[in-house]
Structures are given as structure tokens and as C-alpha cells.
């Protein structure tokens, strides 16, 4: 392995016009690795700390110059001239350098930027694609293309609360990635025409899905059903639905209620669970993310016990890609799938470890973007290299989303499409 020649960070902007950190890492021989760190809007309280400046005179207090400075001084000085034989070695070094449980000293954004920049650089040194390097780190002999979960309608924090439910997604059943992408685009465009015909707004939310605004969450689902049918695909056979509820965003802890703003409705946990069941009985939903608040473990476990055989129940805010919370969820049978977000935990090694725990438990893994994205393609390679089989990266619109879909198109020319239904 080559020694680290230099590390340099800069402040760039993400897809929501907020600053984020981008890191370059160069190994001897001038192998450059670069990574731009994404940022979430709907974030779990148990995520690793994203270091922001808090200086109201710049970017409304959201600048990341502190994180940039940590990379350019503390981290660079500690790494310069050092050689690391493995990804785990550099990630462990970074964690020791920070020394806090939630990465609050250096910032999870600074640490992740260096971790992933190293992965990109070392893959070039080894003459590997990034997904091949990740597959090696994961211990995979075979790599597969992930099945996308296309987010075609946005709500919650991602779309100024046009609906309470944060993401309405479609999952296409096909053996061809290219055909899945085509079908999703056709349905997306049909939905646009339908919204126009009804005099609804076709503005989009943070993740590229339409956000016209409704009085009831079911209205969004009904329009998606119509769009699928108008496009000529069979709902429940060729096209299925998935939801990211993001229930923590409308759970009021002090009153122990779920408050639906669109309907001005207060529901107890039992009543909210009944409403979820109504959705499952009315629509072909095969995946549901964060149906309950992030610390409502009892509701999660009861729901999973009832629906685990027929539904993918995904923990995001519940788990935050964190080993200890994943182990607790495995022990309590709180869900059956992990949403994987690199910046929730802060290093590639910790992310891979979390995915391995999930896989060993018999769960599924879904690699995910964030609402504040960049044109960085690394999560595509994480999904392919880990062989997880699923990816969430938004609607087939907005450049920071479509660059991921187009990268999958390129990779599909050389990687076998092997999808598990």
C-alpha cells in the first residue's frame, strides 16, 4: 500500500443549497480519492454528529468550516506519510483520533469524508472499481445490481409537509435494471400529466418526487395507483408500493400521540397502528420504513410480529446504521430490514459492519441517499459491492438523483442483473 501524501477538504453545497464537506485524499503515486458527504433533513436523534459552525452570518448557521478545518489540520497532520494496509486500519485510526462516542470532536462529516476518500483512492491504486473494492471489504465474491425504490411523491420535511408520509415509492418487478428505470420514468411522467390535469402543482420536493399537497395521505396513493394504471402496468404484479412514513417527525412525545397535520388528527399509538393497517389492506405495499417513532420499541416489535412474513419493515431513524441499536432491534425483533446511510455512522468500516449484522440476522439491507445530496456516486458502488439488492436514491428527476441511476445503467453493462423477489 502507498503512503498518504495529502488530505484536503473544502466547503461545497448540496442539493438543498446547504454547505457540506468534500474531501480529497491523495496517495503516493498521485492516486486521488474524493468524496462529498451528504446530509439529511429528517434525521434520527441517535445519528453521529454532523459538525456545523453555528455562525449565523454564513449560510444561516449551517456552514461546515469547522469540519473542513479539522480535516485540513488535525486529520491531515495525523495522517500525512502514514500507510494503512486496510480500510479498517484507517477507520480505526480516525475513530481513535476523535475519541468520542458520537464523533463530536472532529465531526462525523469530516471523518466520513476522509474514510470514503481513502476508499476511492485505494481502489484506484489497486486498479479496482469502487464497488469491487467494497465487495472485497464486505467479503463478497459476487456483486449484483440493486433494485431501486423510486421515490415519486414527497411529503413531510422533504416537501414542506405536503403530506404527513415522507416518501411514496414504487418498486418495479423486472429482471432488467434498464426496464425498471424505463417503467419508473414512464410512471413518473404519467403522474405529472395526471397532476396537471387536476390543476395540481408539479413542484418537486428535496428528493425529486412531486409535492402537490393533499388533505389526506391516501390521496397521494390513489393518484399513484391511477398513474401506474394509465401507464399500462399492473399494480400488484409489475409495480408495487413502498412508504417511508418517517413517523418520528409527527410523533409528539409529551402527549404520546401521532399528529397528522394534513388531517388535523391526533392518534394514539394504537389508533395510528390501525391507520397503518388500513393502508396495508387497501394498497399493494410491500415495504414500509419508520412506521413508528424512533424510540417506540414496543409498537415496532408488535407490528413486526404481526407483519414480518408479508412486509419489509425498515428501520432508519430507529437504527441509524448504528451497531448497538441494530443488535437491540434484532434481539427484540423490532423490524426486518436496515436502511443504510453512511453519514449516520461516519466510516465505511462501521457501515459494512452494520450491514453484516443485519444480513446475519436474516434481514435485508437497503443503501440510501439523503435529502441533501451531491453528484457523488459512492452509494451506488456501496449497494453494488455489498450485494444488498436494494437502493433508495430518489425520483428519476434532479441531477443529484439521476446521476446515481445513470451510473447504475453504466454498471449494468458489465454486471449481471440477479434480483431476488
> Mind telling me the catalytic residues?
207, 341
Q: How far apart are CA 370 and CA 175, in angstroms?
A: 27
User: Is 188:152 a contact under the CB 8 Å cutoff?
Assistant: yes
Q: Residue 285: in which H helix or E strand, if any? A: strand 285-289
DSSP bridge partners of 242: 169, 287
Rounded CA-CA distance 421/404 in Å is 22
Contact criterion met (CB below 8 Å) for 396 and 181: yes
Please answer whether residues 367 and 375 qualify as being in contact, where contact means their C-beta atoms are separated by less than 8 angstroms. Answer: no
Q: CB–CB of 405/395 below 8 Å?
A: no
Separation between Cα atoms, residue 287 and residue 335, nearest integer Å = 11
Give CA 163 to chain center in angstroms: 20
CA–CA separation, 225 and 191 (whole Å): 9
Q: Would strands 312-315 and 285-289 be described as parallel, antiparallel, or unpaired?
A: parallel
CA dist., res. 33 & res. 227, Å (int)? 42
CA proximity to 337, closest of 326, 353, 328: 326
Burial of residue 403 (CB within 10 Å: 0-12, 13-18, 19+) is: middle
Written as one string, the DSSP assignment of 177-219 is HHHHHHHHHHHHHHHHHHHHHTT----B-TTS-B----SSHHH
Amino acid at each position: 500500500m502507498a503512503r498518504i501524501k495529502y488530505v484536503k477538504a473544502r466547503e461545497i453545497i448540496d442539493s438543498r443549497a446547504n454547505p457540506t464537506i468534500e474531501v480529497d485524499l491523495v496517495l503516493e503515486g498521485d492516486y486521488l480519492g474524493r468524496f462529498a458527504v451528504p446530509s439529511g433533513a429528517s434525521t434520527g436523534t441517535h445519528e453521529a454528529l454532523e459538525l456545523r459552525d453555528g455562525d449565523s452570518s454564513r449560510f444561516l448557521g449551517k456552514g461546515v468550516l469547522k469540519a473542513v478545518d479539522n480535516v485540513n489540520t488535525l486529520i491531515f497532520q495525523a495522517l500525512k506519510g502514514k500507510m494503512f494496509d486496510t480500510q479498517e486500519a484507517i477507520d480505526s485510526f480516525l475513530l481513535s483520533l476523535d475519541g468520542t462516542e458520537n464523533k463530536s470532536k472532529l465531526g462525523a462529516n469530516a471523518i466520513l469524508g476522509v474514510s470514503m476518500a481513502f476508499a476511492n483512492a485505494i481502489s484506484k491504486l489497486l486498479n479496482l472499481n469502487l464497488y469491487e473494492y467494497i465487495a472485497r471489504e464486505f467479503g463478497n465474491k459476487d456483486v449484483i445490481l440493486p433494485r431501486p425504490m423510486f421515490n415519486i411523491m414527497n411529503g413531510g420535511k422533504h416537501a414542506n409537509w405536503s403530506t404527513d408520509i415522507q416518501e411514496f415509492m414504487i418498486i418495479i418487478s423486472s429482471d432488467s435494471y434498464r426496464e425498471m428505470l424505463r417503467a419508473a420514468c414512464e410512471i413518473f411522467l404519467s403522474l405529472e400529466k395526471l397532476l396537471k390535469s387536476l390543476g395540481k402543482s408539479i413542484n418537486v420536493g428535496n428528493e425529486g418526487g412531486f409535492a402537490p399537497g393533499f388533505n389526506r395521505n391516501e390521496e397521494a396513493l390513489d393518484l399513484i395507483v391511477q398513474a401506474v394504471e394509465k401507464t399500462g402496468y399492473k399494480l400488484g404484479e409489475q409495480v408495487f408500493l413502498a412508504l417511508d412514513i418517517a413517523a418520528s417527525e409527527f410523533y409528539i412525545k409529551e402527549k404520546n400521540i401521532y399528529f397528522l397535520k394534513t388531517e388535523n388528527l391526533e392518534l394514539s399509538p394504537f389508533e395510528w397502528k390501525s391507520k397503518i393497517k388500513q393502508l396495508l389492506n387497501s394498497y399493494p405495499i410491500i415495504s414500509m420504513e419508520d412506521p413508528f417513532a424512533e424510540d417506540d420499541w414496543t409498537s415496532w416489535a408488535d407490528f413486526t410480529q404481526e407483519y414480518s412474513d408479508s412486509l419489509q419493515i425498515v428501520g432508519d431513524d430507529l437504527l441509524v446504521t448504528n451497531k448497538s441499536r441494530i443488535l437491540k432491534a434484532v434481539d427484540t425483533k423490532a423490524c426486518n430490514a436496515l436502511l443504510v446511510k453512511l453519514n449516520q455512522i461516519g466510516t465505511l468500516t462501521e457501515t459494512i459492519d452494520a450491514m453484516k449484522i443485519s444480513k446475519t440476522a436474516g434481514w435485508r439491507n437497503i443503501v440510501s441517499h439523503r435529502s441533501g445530496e451531491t453528484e457523488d456516486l459512492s452509494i451506488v458502488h456501496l449497494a453494488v459491492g455489498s450485494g444488498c439488492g436494494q437502493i433508495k436514491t430518489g425520483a428519476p428527476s434532479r441531477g443529484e438523483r439521476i446521476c446515481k441511476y445513470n451510473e447504475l445503467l453504466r454498471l449494468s453493462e458489465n454486471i449481471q442483473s440477479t434480483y431476488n423477489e
